Structure 1
Amino acid sequence: HSKENVIFNNIESTYIIAEIGINHNGSVKEAEKLIRNAAEIGVHGVKIQIRDLNTLYTSTVLLDPLKAEHGTQHLLHELHKVHLSFEQVAGLFDYAEQFNIDFFATPFDLVSAEFLNDIDTPLFKIGSPDFTNLQLIKKIISYNKPIILSTGMSTEKEIRQVVAFLQDQKADFSLLHCNSTYPAAYQDINLRYIPRLKHISGVKTGYSGHEQGYAPTLGAIALGAEIIERHITMDTKQEGLDHSSSLDVSMFREMMCDIWKLENSLGKDERVYSQGEQNNFLSLGKSLVAARDLKAGSILCDDNIIAKTPAKGISPLNIDKFIGKTLQRDLLKDDYLAFDDIDESIKNNATIHGFDIPKKWGVVGRLNDYHEYLEFLPDLVEMHLTWRDIENFIPPTAIHEQDLVVHAPEYYRDKLIDFTTNDPVVREYSIEMLNKTIELARELDNNFSGQTHPEGPRVVVHPGGHFVSRTNSNKDEQYRVLIKNLKEINTEGVRVLVENMPPFPWYFGGQWYNTIFLNHNEITQFCETINWGLCYDLSHAQLYCNHANFKLTEFTRSILPHIEYLHVSDASGVTNEGLQIGEGNVDFEQVFAILDKLDTGFIPEIWQGHLRKGKGFVEALHRIDRIYKKLSSGSCHVH
């Protein structure tokens, strides 16, 4: 029945209505200002009230208001002061067309309802005073538009009766829980009625709030409200009926931000072990280790097993599986236990045999453990540095036949690096970090004989551009500063690559917000402006594409000429990066086909893939091997 372009019917998040009501004070200019401000805040709907006073009130009261009760006298006096003509209201509908909002109104009488239908309002609101006005409701239903009804000043018996009427008339309706006092006392709001109202009606249910502040509004959303209506004003201290129970523009904007945070935090009714928690568990949790040196043949017991941090092995939940078992190999104190330590029949799943990937591939490690993965016979090694590696670097003595890639630290002296800032302190330590990383890469180059890039080892760096909270930054200025700062780096003897970023990276054990090096067009422009290459992280790109509703295949084609190295892993949602191949949203067959002629080297960057002797890395390589075999058989078609 309703127009297809009505946001109300298509919105997935909470539908927010900024109710101007009569807070325009009878001024068209004030109404336009409120419409404009509400639209800029990002509300979905903006609403006013419309009355034909001659139809609305009895002739006795209109002719002699003194015959009415004091409350009616006062209200009628105020309504005369703020009255807008139908012509003025029509002008506001025209004005609102320029904004991406539903602009609509609450008619308080049949004449006003007819007028709104004539100017093609996208939907109708019925206020609490008319919730039981079946004559008005029936007339509005006949217009075949969505209807939102507030249920203030009504009993549950009346609500059930009206709901039955609406259902019988096959109305497209939603209900708002409401306490019709201005401002509403917190103890009277009774938010727990919202789920019951939804149960009674079986339709989309929301909350129309008149409280000071907005804490109950957030509570309503947590209890299932899908529509929120709040009054908006330019100044809560103005004289008038509704200003004191309204939110000013600044507070309305603040409420919108808090609603967004709340919606993102509600989740679903199942326990989700987030990736951030998994990462923190590595440094905060515990795994089973040998409590002292143990010889093969020892019988394991409570006294010779202990749980210690970091959590790089078997969960303490599995301790009973080890108690009483015979140890199959010698263990030193603090060596991590594995199931194959107690059962010879268990083979190490991290087998390095059986794959033949037709591209240069590598492993990622730290300075203190990379040698453990050389038995995989990789073509390259990516050395992921911490800032302490830089401060305490001791050159290795062995010579390796692999190519070398060095990944610069994301932190320096426990502070996040950022090349997009004009802050002199952050800028100075970020540049110092990268210069020292490059010096270290030049030294390490002597230990790796398989270099393939003519300029020397590749150095991967993150650009910065992150904030602890959502921020509207000047991206043009950020890129200008980024290029300016990077040009100060001495890149002799290395090839520096900037890595594309995820929209919501994990830093300091929590989620941050990134603003640059997300979009393919921006990345291309950067690479064409400065002679630095791109480390293409597939997982980061997929997260951005999920966030921006863009195709990863198109993203990949766009930045293809600038790719000089690859990080390969899967991703899902907008935060889950570094997933095992095939466990997220990346269509690897499509992407690998696009990258077919590129052989700059890649690593499987699986989150915690280094644990349990690199099990995650090797599993990823096996899966990548199978994808390439499928591609070579011609069973994949690129779209």
Structure 2
Amino acid sequence: MTISDLPRQTWCLRTRPARFMLEQAATVRAAATRFADGQVNTVFAVNEAGACVGSFSRGDLIRAVAADVPADATIRWNASFERLHIGDDYAQHLAKFDKQLGNVIPVLDHHGRCRRVFERTRESGLEIAGKRYVPGGKPLVIAEIGNNHNGSPDTARQLVDAAAAAGADAVKFQARSLSELYVSLDEAYLRETDYATAYTIRQLARFNLSHEQLSGLMDYARQLGLAAICTPFDEPSLEWLLDYEPDGLKIASADFSNLSLHRKLIDADMPVLMSTGMNTVSDIEYVAGLLRRAYVDCTFLHTNSTYPTAFSDVQLDFVDTLRRLSPSGLVGYSGHERGTHIPLIAASRGCVVIEKHLTLDRSQEGMDHSASLLPQELAQLCAQLSDAAEALQGDSGLTRRVSQGEVLNAVALEKGIYLACDKRAGELVQPGDVIVRSPRVGLSPLEWERDLSGRPLTRDRARHAPLMAADFSGLAAGRGMRPEFLGRFGLPVRQRDAVAVQDRFAPAFVEYHLFATDLEEPAAQVAQVLRGRDVAFHAPEQFAHEFVLDLVSDDPEVRARSEHLLLETVTWCLRVAEAARSDQRPYLIVNVGGAVGRSQASGHVPPLNRVEAFDRVVAARNRLWDAGVHMLPQTMPPFPWHFGGQGRHRLFVSPDDLMAIQSHGRVEFCLDLSHSYLACDYLHRDFYDDLDQIADVVGYCHVADARPPNGEGLQIGDGQIDMRRVNTALGLSGGQRPWIAEVWNGHMNDMEGFGIALDRLTEAFSAQA
């Protein structure tokens, strides 16, 4: 739960305050230990009666150390700490706590016991089962099972299985103690009451599952990695759930006005979701105030309680108002309409929860089946919500980020400024001296007119030469590079720029990036521009007729063709290396395959037989070693681009693959930093911990920056990778392994990108010398 009542501050309500508490007799050492794990910045004293009687902050610890207070001394608690009390409406009180005060505020009951803690934090969003859901991100998708099991625990388990397979985050059940829920269950009463009530009671009497059965189903859901959420329809069921401790509680619209049930939620140390169907704004405001005063971590869900709901009755425009009323400051959507498109709109409006009923058969008897999704529809919704979350990512809508794909396409699609005639250094370049042509190499027409039109050149340029910023400044990137700090560094080259790269930067080696068409070029012609320098090669991955190299394919024809093309590549590379008089066994960087195409990237991805894949990679590596090259499989991003479409990789994305293959045979890898950083972000892994794990099997590196979710090959410093930490893990500056600066389009604009990358890496690596 997050409340953003303060500018640039976020208050998070912690419903489990134990980690903030220490015994009143605790020592300074105990507080230091609690602070050391980074989980808290302030602790509170609890006396023998359980009351909170003092505070001790990280700042207090620093002052104690400075005053030479012994570590085993009892903490001198601050008795005048700030606090809130159950019954205070925090919406009215939080604003008084400014940045000068502590970042943790305990919430005390009338006995002085700490029941909640407000913590100022950078975190935001709804946290359930260890995962956090934020507006604009992928929402918590709840598959509401409800009574669609029709009283069968086996059917309920099938629904749980279906929810997990579809990609839902949670399942929700309903708990009822029927004898406590209705005035009477007698048949005589049912005959006398209204038809809708009688029908509902008879259905529930047939289909209701016991608390014991529900606990078994929630345990099963958790085993499958799903969060378990349950709706109590009466106080005995709520008490049972508080004892069971599911991952979250959901209060149905039918109980939105059940204030006695709400007041018992003070004992809930888990998130609460509450549907708002059948209630007016004034009703919602009243309940919101009650929940705030009880410090219940509650998020309201927009709902229409009809089954199915007509689209005209959905009223999604109320979501923004409901967010302002919701105690947590967050909002969700529980939909009963048909189809999957309305939840997508709700997610785009910032809903952090999407709840839909799930059924195996819409024609079954029961109240909710007709308004429920089938498993394949839920899978479609989950995939669409993931896609929508990616599409909504940005910089708060304030700026437009040019994607890496656009940067690459700009070269071919945009236009650049070219000289219409020869020009000497010192001569002005006027509008009549230039022409606009494709491809865009160097300055765009806009950049030239806005920044450099009418300026003098600082060097001679020939007719039809593309104009660069360096043509007017005389300053070339790369002047700050110092080879002694860069180890065994290289640069990627093509035939067109190999000589210029070597003259400008004098790398220890170059990596020749092959296109499939290069295999038709005479090897001697390419070797001529390499000048006897050591050379590595990057094998082509894409070939004619949209064929993608795949050495691990289950299709024997694809595999055989891939092996044939790779052997052709090896033969060509050896001829080039021999003609170039390269002394070392050439490295060959290979994308070995294992991806699925764009048609499968957003849906179900078939599993890869890793045992067979590892065996095939090891066999290929051994064959190529015998042929005379050192093959290095490259680490891959989760979503590669092939022939203009985005697929999904299944091999050498996780660092675990790099270690697991070693039991099949020794294989060294080309670690592509930007690929692997994106992979770790996607897999929720610590990139730097993984570097330490895989360092021994990294024989070569591609160095570029990255920014999730798909910003790869970025200029050094334009992404999120800490190059100093990379150097510490891999020893790049010490020459322990060869590496190249592989920033995308680094050769463009008179190799400006390469120069900037080497300047920035020199700065990063030299700081560690």
- Counterpart of 1:281 (choices 396, 406, 410) is 410
For residue 304 of structure 1, the aligned residue among 421, 433, 454 is 433
> What corresponds to 1:266 in structure 2?
392
Identify the residue that residue 615 of structure 1 maps to in structure 2.
752
AA matched with 2:468: A
Distance in structure 1 (CA, Å) of the matches to 2:269 and 2:737: 61
Number of corresponding residues: 627
Secondary structure at the residue paired with 2:479?
coil
Alignment of 1:222-371 (within 5 A): 222-268=348-394, 269-270=396-397, 271-292=400-421, 300-320=429-449, 321-327=451-457, 329-341=459-471, 343=472, 346-351=474-479, 355-357=483-485, 359-371=487-499
C-alpha contact (below 8 Å) 1:313/1:336 kept by paired residues? yes
Per the alignment, residue 524 of structure 2 pairs with 395
Mapping for residues 179-198 of structure 1, pairs under 5 Å: 179-198=304-323
Counterparts of 1:156-175 in structure 2, within 5 Å, are 156-175=281-300
- Runs of 5+ unmatched residues, structure 2: 1-13, 19-126
Deviation for aligned residue 1:244: 0.9
C-alpha distance after superposition, 1:176-230 (max 9, x if no partner): 1011111111121111211111022352211111112211111111111111211
CA deviations over 1:319-345 (Å, ceiling 9, x no partner): 32444445555544431112444x4x6
Indicate how the Cα distance of structure 1 residues 241 and 417 shifts in structure 2: closer, same or farther if over 3 A, else same: same
Normalising by structure 2, report the TM-score. 0.75
SS of the residue 2:279 aligns to:
coil
Partner in structure 1 of residue 551 of structure 2: 419
d(CA) in 1 for partners of 2:383 and 2:268? Answer: 35
Mark the CA change 1:462 to 1:87 in structure 2 (over 3 Å): closer, same or farther.
closer
1:38-74 Cα distance to aligned partner (Å, 9 max, x none): 3454433322223333333334985332322232232
Aligned partners of 1:534 and 1:302: how far apart in 2?
51
Select 2:512's aligned residue among 383, 389, 394.
383
Residue 574 of structure 2 corresponds to residue 442 of structure 1: yes
- More displaced 10-residue stretch of structure 1: 288-297 or 28-37: 288-297
CA contact (8 A) 1:355 1:622 kept: no
- Determine the structure 2 residue equivalent to 1:220: 346
1:151-174 per-position Cα deviation (integer Å, ceiling 9, x unaligned): 111122221222222223332211
Question: Identity of counterpart residues, as a percentage?
Answer: 32
Q: Which amino acid aligns with 2:416?
A: S
Q: Deviations over 1:470-524 (max 9, x none)?
A: 5242233333344456666685233322222222333334433211123334224
Where does residue 7 of structure 1 map in the other structure? 128
Of 171-180 and 39-48, deviating more is 39-48
Q: Pick closer, same or farther for the CA change 1:432–1:51 going to 2, 3 Å.
A: same
Structure 1 position 548 matched with structure 2 position 680: no
Is 1:70 aligned to residue 195 of structure 2?
Answer: yes
Secondary structure of the 1:607 match is: coil
1:460 paired with 2:589, answer yes
Contact 1:276 1:506 in 2 (8 A): no
Q: Hey, what does 1:636 align to over in structure 2?
A: none
- Offset of residue 574 of structure 1: 4.3
CA contact (8 A) 1:236 1:248 kept: yes
Structure 2 distance, partners of 1:385, 1:123, is: 54
SS at match of 1:21: coil
Moved more, 377-386 or 570-579: 570-579
The letter of the residue matching 1:232 is L
Match of 2:44 in 1: none
- Map 1:68-217 → 2, pairs under 5 A: 68-93=193-218, 95-96=220-221, 98-143=223-268, 145-203=270-328, 204-217=330-343
Deviation at 1:118, TM superposition (A): 4.4
Question: 1:46 maps to what in 2?
Answer: 171
- More deviation, 483-492/439-448: 483-492
| 8 A contact 1:152–1:178 mirrored in 2 | yes
Alignment of 1:473-492 (within 5 A): 473-474=607-608, 475-484=610-619, 492=627
Where 2:201 maps in the other structure, the secondary structure is helix
Instruction: Check conservation: 1:378, 1:402, Cα contact below 8 A.
Output: no
Q: Which amino acid aligns with 2:489?
A: W
Of stretches 439-448 and 216-225 in structure 1, the one that deviates more from structure 2 is 439-448
Does 1:536 find its partner at 2:536? no
1:439-474 CA distance string (max 9 Å, x none): 2212212443342x2xx3222211111222052422
Asked whether the equivalents of residues 505 and 514 of structure 1 are also in contact (C-alpha less than 8 Å), the reply is yes
Q: Over residues 616-639 of structure 1, what are the superposed CA-to-partner deviations in whole Å (9 max), with x where a residue is unaligned?
A: 21222233333443333xxxxxxx
Q: Which one of 713, 726, 746 corresponds to residue 591 of structure 1?
A: 726
Normalising by structure 1, we get a TM-score of 0.89
CA distance in 1, matches of 2:326, 2:695: 54
Q: Separation in 1 of the partners of 2:540 and 2:454?
A: 44
- 1:497 equivalent to 2:626? Answer no
Give SS of 2:465's match.
Answer: coil
Secondary structure, aligned partner of 2:228: strand
**Within 1, Cα distance between the matches of 2:428 and 2:759?**
36
Whether the 8 Å contact between 1:124 and 1:140 is mirrored in structure 2 is no
CA contact (8 A) 1:435 1:490 kept: no
> Aligned partner of 1:380: which letter?
F
Matched, 1:519 2:626: no
